[in-house]
Structure 1
């Protein structure tokens, strides 16, 4: 579903000190921004922020960054962050194509891909956030043995991602073709929608080997 354009989304987010646009000026400085040496977990494609805010509430000793390119969606996340008064979460308006210009090597300890666009057409597969093209980008910003967690409602995307990870010499720690809500714990707006339709949720937990 296409979100209606919100003309005040960008001005509103620019008033929130927890939201960054572009982020390239912060490369290598994210721990300084958070004011501590805690690990930083990155969610790519945070949408309206349900997953991001809930996991940040539950894990105060971890720093979280939510990256999103869609300002219409992310303004909702910005409001949730502000209302929750969380100090361990930041928002980043940017594209995953720019990750290596935003983060220094070993700045990120974990990556979440929640219901990324599956790009079903073969000519678009390189746009998938689980594709080797992006795995190489992640490898340049993560700590050794960093974890990547993926959730999707799309079986083809799930199976393709498994192969991408295996071909990239990642260790598959866990895979699940019908992840229970109890085990899922932190649920995004998309996951809630798919669960309400009784659709299976596919899950992969994999580890990089640098």
Structure 2
């Protein structure tokens, strides 16, 4: 299998895009494995289709599913060509956090999941400039999580400054809701979730959700800049918020063996 620094093209949602951002992203030909994954919206609930677990109107075409199973799911050690631990960031944004970690930890494999091609392009450019060879970019949304990864294949999940979905009716969409915690539990090999946010309500919600699932909580901070936590790697958002004097909330949650 081709092994260079690359992007995996995942789900492409129907939304406005910056002109030519996707073309610029895909122009990094030496970095790309094109998963050719496209979500198709349907009203059918045919059990024979591969439905997105978070939306029963969505299925993945058979040939695409076959490609994922044959080349990625359960095979990430082959893709990376080593058996190093695999850490994934859900919603990597412009990539400062994940590329910094990849540079600091060459013996860990990193996967950056991001749906917005405009910001993903910035992240890929950072990795390219740093000449990183232990990071991959998966272009798509969190719904790819269940498709691309075998159970117990991952070791850590990073969630940084995700959408708080403040309305109560949207609580299940929060990346720290019990729905997603169950998904992480399936994919993590007794691993950890590292979570940061600037939103106190989301942080309190997340504490309750993690506790309800009996995860072991540690390194809880209500103002990260004033805490004694060492080795913090910041995101672009975090730099901005800290510069404004805003508190950053952080925790680590570990699944019990």
Distance 1:189 1:9, change over 3 A: same
Equivalences for residues 36-75 of structure 1 within 5 A: 36-75=82-121
SS of residue paired to 1:204:
strand
1:197 to 229, 234, 244: 244
Distance 1:184 1:117, change over 3 A: farther
2:213 to 165, 168, 186: 168
Matched, 1:208 2:244: no
Report the equivalent of 2:27: 15
- Maintained 8 Å contact 1:19/1:78: no
Deviation digits for residues 31-83 of structure 1 (CA, Å, limit 9, x no counterpart): 11111000000000100000011011000000000101111111100111111
**Structure having greater relative contact order (Cα 8 Å, sep ≥ 6):** 1
Q: Which runs of 4+ in 1 moved over 6 A?
A: none
Distance 1:60 1:90, change over 3 A: same
- Maintained 8 Å contact 2:225/2:242: no
> CA RMSD for the aligned pairs?
1.8
Report the equivalent of 2:183: 137
SS of residue paired to 2:87:
strand
Report the equivalent of 2:63: none
Matched, 1:159 2:204: yes
Gaps of 5+ in 1: none
Gaps of 5+ in 2: 1-15, 38-66
- Measured in 2, the distance between the counterparts of 1:83 and 1:60 equals 16
- Measured in 1, the distance between the counterparts of 2:244 and 2:148 equals 37
Report the equivalent of 1:33: 79
| Count of aligned residue pairs for this structure pair | 206
- Maintained 8 Å contact 1:19/1:92: no
Distance 1:108 1:19, change over 3 A: farther
- Which has the higher mean CA deviation after the structures are superposed, 54-63 or 172-181? 172-181
TM-score (norm 2): 0.76
Matched, 1:86 2:132: yes
> Once the 2 structures are TM-superposed, how far is the Cα of residue 180 of structure 1 from its aligned partner?
2.0
Matched, 1:147 2:192: yes
SS of residue paired to 1:169:
coil
- Measured in 2, the distance between the counterparts of 1:185 and 1:18 equals 28
- Measured in 1, the distance between the counterparts of 2:160 and 2:151 equals 23
- Which has the higher mean CA deviation after the structures are superposed, 101-110 or 9-18? 9-18
Distance 1:112 1:186, change over 3 A: same
